Amino acid sequence: MDTNSHIPFDPGVTEEEMHSLDVDLDHVWLGVTAALWSTSASRIERIAGSLLRSPALARALVTTPSLILSWILASAAVFLIGAVVAGATETPVVPLLAPAIAGVAVAFAYGAGADPTYEISRTMPTSARMILLLRVSVVFVTNAILGSIATLIVPGAANVTLLWLLPMVAISLLGLAVAVVFHSATIGGGLALAVWGAIILAAQYPDEQLAAAVSQSALQTLGPVYLLITALSLGVTLWMSGDGAKRRELAGWL
Amino acid sequence: MVVTTASRPGTIAAPGERTGATGVVLRDVRHAFGRHQALDGIDLAAGTGVFGLLGPNGAGKTTLLRALATVLKPSHGSIRLLGRDPGNNDEMRQIRRRLGYLPQQFGYYPNFTVFEFIEYFALLKEMPPGQVKAAVALAIGRVGLEDRARTRMKSLSGGMLRRVGIAQAIVNEPELLLLDEPTVGLDPEQRVLFRGLLREMGARSTVFVCTHLVEDVAIACNEVAIMEAGKIVFRGNPVDLTDLGAVPGEGGGDSAIERGYGSVLTTVRGRNR
């Protein structure tokens, strides 16, 4: 039986007219599947994309290794414990912890050993330096906010907030610079911890005050050193993270 | 077909028909890691087609691929990729937009879905935003992961992860495609499909495949080079290599091409003693 005999023929659209519509069904199908498979970007990613005018950098931001929830929760927990201890012992533990935590987090924001897709990312036209600086800035701000909240909840400690910001900037950027030069977040984070530990020990030597490193007098003495570390570390990071030939020459030499 | 190390060790005697092609041109490329000479005077020119890189562990295959991927700057020699100089920032960016790279160690973000992961690299490759989603869907289809597009990366098997890696490499329809051990973990059916994809890509792009699986080279590659101790010691087509292993028992291996591969290495190592 001819099943088509029951289907009324509609002469309204000819075969030639169908071809003239020039509908690429494969393309339409791709669009449909893409719409089905894709997920909408998170609010943070959408806001970052608008601000940065780059969906690539916005996605790079949300893939920051030291911005994943477990990392932030761990940092917040350490700050909370520090705040509790500070409240009980009247020792400003939070200002002593802040540069160390931020230093490690910043070193692990991007690079070999930290970002699982680092090798592929290095072959992308999107600037590696932009990704690095963007992630580092956000990680630093996140840690600064956590540290500030922890300091503020310790009675009478609010006035020391500013005393750890400068060391935190210097130690974080030092850790970052070392991580970039040696392609190792572990070395960068480890050195940041070691340098900050050395500063704390050295500052407490004269009067055996654990918190001497974040005192007003210590900041006046060490302030220029922190500024020098900040400037040098930033310069090294910018130079090494670019795509210039000098950076590669130095990397090869090292 | 050329088995070299005669007049100038490590230098291919003639680059073959593809001389002058704009795909990849390397001249006397050398690179050392400490005392280990990973690349030792590589001269190579390759145009459109699939180029297989064979060699034992530590021969320099991955280092060569990383140099082609603009990840590693060789300490000596010149490289031109797609007619451009990777030492120039602007030209390197142009190269990278046209590049696809699957490294040997393929890392991923475990909480991303397959679609999100490939989309991320499409964005980083600076593809026009309006084309990204369709390109990602196409790439997923080409590696046969349609039913896993919304699956999180952490739930995928090793072979599926490798296919995601291939998809991110081809999502921008690269003119230069570099694949390091792409078939590791793929089941036989997927390997057959992958060879088809390779041939398809090789029809319009320069494709380098670094592998230990000699039979993949025999079936999918137009040309093959064997590396040993940082040098290219053989260059020809798979038939040339198969011919070298035509006599059973010589060179070791079950198939003729495996015996040919073994024969080349035996010959070169004998000369170097």
Q: What is the pLDDT of residue A186?
A: 94
A135 and A149 share one domain: yes
Task: Tell me the shortest Cα–Cα distance from B260 to chain A, in angstroms.
Answer: 33
Q: What is the pLDDT of residue B267?
A: 86
B146 and B208 share one domain: no
> Is the Cβ of B120 closer than 8 Å to some Cβ of chain A?
yes
Complex-level ipTM: 0.85
Which portions of chain B are predicted below pLDDT 70?
A: 1-21, 249-252, 273
Retrieve residue A162's tokens.
Answer: 């500013």
B13 and B74 share one domain: yes
B151 and B217 share one domain: no
Q: Do A120 and B101 touch (CB under 8 A)?
A: yes
B20 and B94 share one domain: yes
- Split into its structural domains, chain A has a count of 2
Please report whether residue A249 resides in a domain.
yes
Please report whether residue A191 resides in a domain.
yes
Range of the domain at A27: 15-62
B126 and B83 share one domain: no
Residue scoring higher pLDDT (B195 or A252):
B195
A78 and A50 share one domain: no
Which strands, in side-by-side order, build the sheet including B176-180? B2-3, B231-236, B223-228, B49-54, B206-210, B176-180, B99-102
Report the range of poorest mean pLDDT among A239-243, A244-248, B136-140, B152-156.
Answer: A244-248
Please report whether residue B71 resides in a domain.
yes
Q: Do B124 and A38 touch (CB under 8 A)?
A: no
B92 vs A contacts (CB less than 8 Å): 243
Q: What is the pLDDT of residue B5?
A: 36
Retrieve residue B51's tokens.
Answer: 């180029």
> Is the Cβ of B154 closer than 8 Å to some Cβ of chain A?
no
Please report whether residue A4 resides in a domain.
no
Confidence of residue A1 (pLDDT cuts 50, 70, 90): very low
B126 vs A contacts (CB less than 8 Å): 56, 124-126
Please report whether residue B193 resides in a domain.
no
Please report whether residue B31 resides in a domain.
yes
Residue environment code for A109-130, b if the CB has 16+ CB neighbours within 10 A, otherwise e: bbbebbbbbbbbbbbbbbbbbe
Q: Is B32 exposed, middle or buried (0-12, 13-18, 19+ CB in 10 A)?
A: middle
Best to test chain A binding among B89, B98, B102, B120 (most A CBs inside 10 Å): B120
Please report whether residue B21 resides in a domain.
yes
A128 vs B contacts (CB less than 8 Å): none
B64 and B135 share one domain: no
B78: nearest Cα among B35, B39, B33, B43: B43
Q: What is the pLDDT of residue B273?
A: 66
Beta bridge mates, B78: B27
Decide: helix, strand or coil at residue B225: strand
- Split into its structural domains, chain B has a count of 2
B81 and B8 share one domain: yes
A155 and A189 share one domain: yes
A48 and A82 share one domain: no
Q: What is the pLDDT of residue A155?
A: 66
Q: Do A38 and B115 touch (CB under 8 A)?
A: yes
Q: Do B120 and A126 touch (CB under 8 A)?
A: no
Decide: helix, strand or coil at residue B174: coil
Q: Which helix (H) or strand (E) holds B38?
A: strand B36-46
Range of the domain at B242: 2-98+176-184+202-272
Q: Among all chains, which residue has been given the structure tokens 């070298």?
A: B244
Please report whether residue A148 resides in a domain.
yes
B43 and B113 share one domain: no
> Above pLDDT 70, what percent of chain A?
82
Q: What is the pLDDT of residue B49?
A: 94
Q: Do B113 and A117 touch (CB under 8 A)?
A: no
Task: Tell me the shortest Cα–Cα distance from A251 to chain B, in angstroms.
Answer: 9
Please report whether residue A6 resides in a domain.
no
Task: Tell me the shortest Cα–Cα distance from A200 to chain B, in angstroms.
Answer: 37
Dihedral class, residue B70 (left if φ above 0, else alpha if ψ from -120 to 50, else beta): left
Please report whether residue B68 resides in a domain.
yes
A159 and A55 share one domain: no
Q: Do A120 and B113 touch (CB under 8 A)?
A: no
A76 and A125 share one domain: yes
Please report whether residue B146 resides in a domain.
yes
**DSSP per residue over A207-220, as a string?**
T--GGGGGSHHHHH
Task: Tell me the shortest Cα–Cα distance from A43 to chain B, in angstroms.
Answer: 15
What are the Cα distances from residue A85, in Å, to A88, A97, A102, A198? 5, 12, 19, 22
Above 90 in pLDDT, residue A134? yes
The whole-number average pLDDT for the span A219-244 is 87
The whole-number average pLDDT for the span A26-40 is 83
Task: Tell me the shortest Cα–Cα distance from B117 to chain A, in angstroms.
Answer: 10
Q: What is the pLDDT of residue A36?
A: 85
Mean pLDDT score across all residues of chain B: 87
**CB distance B105 to B162 below 8 Å:** no
B136 and B226 share one domain: no
Residue scoring higher pLDDT (A187 or B248):
A187
A89 and A145 share one domain: yes
The torsion angles phi and psi of B54, rounded to 5 degrees, stand at -115, 160
> Is the Cβ of B144 closer than 8 Å to some Cβ of chain A?
no
Q: Among all chains, which residue has been given the structure tokens 């100038």?
A: B8
A80 and A168 share one domain: yes
B150 vs A contacts (CB less than 8 Å): 37, 39
A121 vs B contacts (CB less than 8 Å): 124
A238 and A190 share one domain: yes
B223: nearest Cα among B64, B53, B51: B51
The torsion angles phi and psi of B180, rounded to 5 degrees, stand at -105, 110
Task: Tell me the shortest Cα–Cα distance from A188 to chain B, in angstroms.
Answer: 21
Q: What is the pLDDT of residue A247?
A: 54
A31 and A91 share one domain: no
How big is the CA angle at A94 (ends A89 and A100), to the nearest 5 degrees? Answer: 135
Retrieve residue A204's tokens.
Answer: 């407490």
What is the reported pTM? 0.84
Kindly report the CATH number assigned to the domain that includes residue B206.
3.40.50.300
B6 and B91 share one domain: yes
B101 vs A contacts (CB less than 8 Å): 120, 123
Picking from A34, A126, A243, the nearest residue to B89 by CB comes out as A243
Above 70 in pLDDT, residue A93? yes
Residue-wise pLDDT for A96-122, tens only, equals 899 999 999 999 999 888 999 999 999
Q: What is the pLDDT of residue A243?
A: 61
Picking from B75, B121, B136, the nearest residue to A120 by CB comes out as B121
Please report whether residue B133 resides in a domain.
yes
Alpha carbon distance B90, B93 (integer Å): 5
A145 and A25 share one domain: no
Above 50 in pLDDT, residue A142? yes
A59 vs B contacts (CB less than 8 Å): 119-120, 123-124
A244 and A222 share one domain: yes
B88 and B117 share one domain: no
B167 and B136 share one domain: yes
Please report whether residue B196 resides in a domain.
no
> Is the Cβ of A243 closer than 8 Å to some Cβ of chain B?
yes
Please report whether residue A44 resides in a domain.
yes
